[in-house]
């Protein structure tokens, strides 16, 4: 299979490329990434001499460039390309998020249709569903209506709806995932778990929004990669699959786990003003993908989170290089 992976220099995308090349010895992967501040080719430095892997710099919203490359012949597209940081979508503006997360998706869908590509997998988020209350026992299913509350989530929902329209109108063979919060190696340091880890390592305060009780369902990144693999090979065109880890934790719980693993005092915890439109709880019901594709999470949180914390502790130079690059490329982003 000749596979076109967009956003492959990011957190989940780089883990997925490594997963695919390790599992399928006859597959070829092209990594197409704009290399914004969160795109980091160091994430795939071990593949530099891999003949089945190639990198092309480009933007998924650039129709001419996308058509030029996909016109060369690919079997499938997996789209990780996205602006993902919720706080930036709120405080720095939503324009970039709409361009990449909605227009970029439409650009890929048009190319998949034009060149008769056999499958596209769109990687989305549970945030499109909105928020659940802490005392609400329900979970998000594939039939839960979209109610995005942050600009990031609204832009992702727009891309997902374009996938639905492309399938319903033209029969474009696209499948969509809605996954819960990922954790694991190579995640950009602005995200909650690495952000708190590096704060704790420097004995700095860990800022928790509001009361810290906002709940997320945490999924190890390699479990997510395995689910995407199944969607790519077995997922039915036009279908949506929710991917969750059966692992709901509050932000406060996550912070305390990190402090405990690093031998730091809980005095580093501090509570700050809540962010606008902060969703209270996400909870994914992955029954459909478990039932129809045979997926289930393999990594136990109690084992994987200490290993994740250890990885970041041992890769502080990697993180410092990313922060320096972020400052150089986007000095206005804080």
Residue 164 and residue 102 in contact, taking contact as beta carbons nearer than 8 Å:
no
323 found inside a domain: no
Assessment of whether the complete model's pTM goes beyond 0.85: yes
The span from the CA of 292 to the CA of 190, in Å, is 35
**Tokens coding 217:** 């369902």
Establish if 242 belongs to a structural domain. yes
Range of the domain at 231: 2-183+219-247+280-301
Q: Residue 150 in contact with residue 90, Cβ under 8 Å?
A: yes
**Structural domains in the chain (count):** 1
Radius of gyration of the chain measured on its C-alpha atoms: 19
Q: Which residue has the tokens 């704790």?
A: 200
Query: What DSSP string runs through 171-220?
Result: ---EEEEEE-EEESTT--TTSHHHHHHHHHHTT--EEEETTS--EEEEEE
The pLDDT tens digits of the residues spanning 217-244 come to: 999 999 999 999 999 999 999 999 999 9
Q: Which positions are catalytic?
A: 126-127, 152
Give the pLDDT band (50/70/90) at residue 246.
very high
Beta strand ranges found along 42-129 (DSSP E): 53-57, 76-79, 119-125
DSSP character string of 246-289: S-EEEHHHHHHHHHHHTT--GGGEEEEPPPTT---B--B--HHH
pLDDT score for 263: 98
- % pLDDT > 90, the chain: 86
Q: Residue 171: which CATH number? A: 3.40.50.720
Classify residue 334: in a domain, yes or no: no
């Amino acid at each position: 299979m000749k596979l076109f992976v967009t956003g492959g220099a990011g957190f989940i995308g780089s883990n997925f490329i490594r997963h695919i090349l390790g599992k399928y010895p006859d597959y070829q992967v092209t990594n197409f990434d704009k290399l914004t501040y969160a795109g980091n080719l160091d994430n795939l430095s071990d593949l530099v001499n891999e003949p089945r892997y190639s990198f092309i710099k480009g933007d998924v919203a650039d129709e001419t460039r996308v058509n030029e490359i996909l016109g060369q012949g690919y079997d499938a597209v997996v789209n990780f390309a996205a602006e993902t940081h919720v706080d930036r979508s709120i405080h720095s503006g939503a324009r970039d998020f709409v361009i990449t997360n909605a227009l970029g998706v439409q650009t890929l869908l048009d190319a998949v249709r034009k060149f008769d590509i056999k499958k596209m997998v769109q990687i989305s988020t549970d945030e499109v569903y909105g928020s659940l209350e802490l005392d609400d026992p329900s979970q998000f299913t594939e039939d839960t209506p979209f109610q995005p509350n942050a600009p990031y989530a609204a832009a992702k929902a727009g891309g997902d709806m374009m996938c639905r329209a492309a399938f319903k109108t033209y029969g474009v063979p696209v499948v969509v995932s809605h996954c819960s919060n990922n954790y694991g190696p190579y995640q950009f340091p602005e995200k909650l778990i690495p952000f708190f880890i590096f704060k704790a390592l420097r004995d700095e305060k860990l800022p928790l929004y509001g009361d810290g009780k906002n709940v997320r369902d945490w999924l190890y990144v390699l479990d997510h990669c395995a689910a995407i693999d199944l969607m790519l090979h077995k997922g039915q065109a036009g279908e949506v699959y929710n991917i969750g880890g059966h692992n709901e934790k509050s932000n406060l719980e996550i912070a305390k786990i990190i402090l405990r693993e690093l031998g730091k005092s809980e005095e580093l915890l501090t509570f700050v003003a809540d962010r606008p439109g902060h969703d209270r709880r996400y909870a994914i019901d992955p029954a459909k993908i478990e039932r129809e594709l045979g997926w289930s999470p393999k990594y136990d949180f109690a084992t994987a989170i200490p290993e994740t914390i250890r990885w970041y502790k041992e890769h502080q130079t990697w993180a410092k290089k990313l922060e320096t690059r972020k400052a150089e490329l986007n000095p206005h982003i804080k």
